[in-house]
Structure 1
Amino acid sequence: MNEFDDIIGYDATKEELVRIADTLKNAERYRRFGVTSPRGLILYGRPGTGKTLMANCLIKASGRPAFTCRRTESDNPFIDKMKGVFEEAEQNAPSIVLLDDMDKFANSDFQHRDAAEFVAVQSCIDNMRGTEVFVLATANENIKNLPGSLLRPGHFDRQICVETPKGEDAVRIVAGYLANKPFAEDLDPELIASMLAGHSCATLETVVNEAGIIAAYSKSDRITTEHMIEASMRAVFHVPAECLYETDVVDLSSRSTKSIVVWH
């Protein structure tokens, strides 16, 4: 089984990750050409697009031990923890440091580009120069708010934007989430992918799971298109309960009633 098989779709991104993993796993082959692996990679994009999954697949494929840093402490203890992670990675090189949700290490707006946490990340990466420590990071949304000095080549040589799934990728992802569930023969993953265009992988997974809950509660043998539509209305479009169930009384002044009108 390929380490990247857990990633459905995203073929171009997977190819890039496979190539990077090869430079990490077979470093000697590249040294014969007088080159080294990239020093760092940042995967960025909307939440729920599978960045951490991709990072973990890369780690597995590289064959290197990984040391993960996530923000769970306040300022100074967190910086000390981060320095400790890099030191442990250096002692166990060749290795990988995973900076998960790096944009959350500090307030990443234009007023906080010199935040102590980001300065510490840069310092730690600089201290790894000449070692076989690869720095892998994930970040949400817009990395332009992160310090340019942190993102420059030499710190993160590769940057990959992980977008929400589109077209055939979205269809394959919906089909993948349905694969181990009983569903009606006429349930078309392409229709569901079209209905949820622009939404993240996590959203697609949630809708499929919600549809299964609805099907089981209604004592159906299979997940149907109707179950998927109801799940989408509930989980994605937040249609109120009085729209989804039969009710005798509707308050015409309520906010939910306005949603009924919009939905219709």
Structure 2
Amino acid sequence: MIKKNWKELMVGAFGSLLLYLIVVVEVDPLAMIMVLTSIFIASVLYNVFHGRGMIGAAGVAKMPELLSFDEIGGQEIAKRELMEALDFLVHGDDLSRYGIRPLKGILLAGPPGTGKTLLAKAAAHYTDSVFLYAAGSDFVEMYVGVGARRVRGLFKEARQLTIKQKKKNAIIFIDEIDVLGGKRDSTTHAKEADQTLNQLLTEMDGLFSQDLPRIFMIAATNRKDMLDDALLRPGRFDRQIQIDLPDKQGRLQILGIHALNKPLSVDVILDLIADQTFGFSGAQLESLMNEAAVYAFREQKELIEQCHLTQAIDKVLLGETSDRRTNEEERRRIAIHELGHAIAAETFRPGSVNQVSLSPRGMTMGYVRQNPKENTNVYSKSDLEEQIKISLAGAAAEEIFYGERSTGSRQDFDHALQIVETMIRSGLTRLGIVKMEMLTHEAAMTECQNILNDLMEQTRSCLDERRNCVESLLPILLQEEILTSSALQHAISESKKGTCTNGVA
């Protein structure tokens, strides 16, 4: 806190000192005014020189610890496209033979934690270039013109370092460029942010010439829609590379990379962990391997075992186990709620449940961890209805055993409503093909209620048929606090009631 607010603390201390000198020591006010004027002029000159790069471009960091593309897993398509663009730097002398204009910049767009910064560092290694890093917020200042001067200072420093290190190319990487390159407001052209962006556009226009050194621009953002159109046009950011979440093969590569320096047991199956981590980013997978090592260290194990990796998945998704305690009746209600989710999931999607747990984690008092459906980007109406019924199953189970619902279903209902909205936007409801903006609030709510009430009735009917499954599994879950998928599947197969397909008995 002190480091963050040191400027405010210094101002307060300085003001108190001045007040003390004037009132107690009775210093001449005229002399004090001259001192204050000198300090003000010095601070203004410092900001001017600092912004021009005479003291150094603010926020710029040189990163000597580069890495190769082989050390980055899960982004094969992005790496291939980036390396092709970088070949224009490596083989720049041969471009004139084909009449190719060298690329000036690349924009890496994608969710957080997918490796955009790592790709930029690997690009500098691949091209043997000077690498300079800055964040978009480094150029945002309250002083007029400082941001634009810092942009000039950044490019000037890139040229100077390249000449000093006797290299041909420099790569400037700006992270979170949406802070610097956001869309300009047509009514306020004189804003400091607009001046900074205009300076960046000007520098990028003059990046490439026949003279060395060549400066190549790489930027990263997870909000590409916020960027100004002038920044995205060809001739500035010539290529926009989408960095997506890794698929199963990519996740397996990333897990293998982060397992190299960790003592894994021979029984560890990383392929199984890759199956269970659908939707994880590279940063989350790295955190998973680190948390697994922490669990092994806590237990003073020599090797990291499969159970440690499984616990780490829950830790990354939900947080650490908490010490919150509940009474027996509340614990029983939570167990019935989670069994409702698990039995519905296993009924509609056999083999989808990994485990049921009553261990409190983060904000949850219990949870069902499912084996996610791999590489599914398009969902049918029946797929979405299954997801809704699984979300509603916890509340349905409470209604069957208690005759009423509880506040524990709030997040389940939010999830179900989001899926219903997706169905409406996709034309999968009785409303047909419509836009949400064209619907009245009453019409949209009526359709949502009709869909949810219909699916809740189907879910309740299906769980009522499997009431004996809940009753047989409940004491096991209450005692062990963890229910495995095999025990759940066995109980459902032993059910004496009829089967339930797509929610219809």
Verify the 8 A CA contact 2:104 2:207 in the aligned structure 1: no
CA–CA separation in structure 1 for the residues paired with 2:240 and 2:174: 14
Q: Residue in 2 aligned with 1:56? A: 121
1:222 paired to 2:291: no
1:156 paired to 2:237: yes
Aligned equivalent of 1:207, options 288, 294, 306:
288
Q: Residue in 1 aligned with 2:463? A: none
CA–CA separation in structure 2 for the residues paired with 1:180 and 1:256: 28
CA–CA separation in structure 2 for the residues paired with 1:126 and 1:145: 21
Verify the 8 A CA contact 2:140 2:147 in the aligned structure 1: yes
Cα distance, 1:52 vs. partner?
A: 0.7
CA–CA separation in structure 2 for the residues paired with 1:259 and 1:233: 11
CA–CA separation in structure 2 for the residues paired with 1:257 and 1:202: 20
Counterpart residue identity of residue 13, structure 1: A
CA–CA separation in structure 1 for the residues paired with 2:78 and 2:279: 18
CA–CA separation in structure 2 for the residues paired with 1:144 and 1:89: 28
1:72 paired to 2:138: yes
Aligned equivalent of 1:36, options 101, 104, 123:
101
Verify the 8 A CA contact 1:18 1:58 in the aligned structure 2: yes
Q: Secondary structure at the match of 1:72?
A: helix
RMSD of Structure 2 on Structure 1 (CA): 3.0
Cα distance, 1:17 vs. partner?
A: 2.1
CA–CA separation in structure 2 for the residues paired with 1:208 and 1:155: 39
Counterpart residue identity of residue 208, structure 1: M
Verify the 8 A CA contact 1:250 1:257 in the aligned structure 2: no
CA–CA separation in structure 1 for the residues paired with 2:263 and 2:131: 37
Verify the 8 A CA contact 1:239 1:260 in the aligned structure 2: no
In proportion to residue count, which structure has more helix?
Answer: 2
Aligned equivalent of 1:261, options 352, 355, 366:
366
Verify the 8 A CA contact 2:183 2:228 in the aligned structure 1: no
Deviations 1:182-232 (A, max 9, x none): 122222112212222111101000011011011011011221121112122
Structure 1 pair 256–28 and aligned structure 2 pair: CA distance change class (3 A) = closer
Q: Residue in 2 aligned with 1:6? A: 71
TM-score (normalizing by structure 2): 0.46
Counterpart residue identity of residue 99, structure 1: I
Aligned equivalent of 1:82, options 151, 154, 158:
151
1:102 paired to 2:168: no
1:134 paired to 2:216: yes
Range moving further from structure 2, 228-237 or 212-221: 228-237
Structure 1 pair 123–52 and aligned structure 2 pair: CA distance change class (3 A) = same
Q: Residue in 2 aligned with 1:118? A: 197
Q: Secondary structure at the match of 1:96?
A: strand
Q: Secondary structure at the match of 1:86?
A: helix
Cα distance, 1:90 vs. partner?
A: 4.4
Counterpart residue identity of residue 177, structure 1: H
Same amino acid, percent of matched pairs: 26
Deviations 1:53-107 (A, max 9, x none): 101111111122233332335425333222211223345464322222212336x
CA–CA separation in structure 2 for the residues paired with 1:167 and 1:63: 32
Extract unaligned runs of 5+ from structure 2.
1-66, 163-167, 332-359, 369-481, 483-505
CA–CA separation in structure 2 for the residues paired with 1:83 and 1:207: 41
Range moving further from structure 2, 37-46 or 73-82: 73-82
Q: Secondary structure at the match of 1:159?
A: strand
Aligned equivalent of 1:147, options 220, 228, 253:
228
Q: Residue in 1 aligned with 2:326? A: 250
TM-score (normalizing by structure 1): 0.84
Higher RCO (CA-CA < 8 Å; seq separation 6+): 1
Verify the 8 A CA contact 1:165 1:201 in the aligned structure 2: yes
1:178 paired to 2:259: yes
Structure 1 pair 110–83 and aligned structure 2 pair: CA distance change class (3 A) = closer
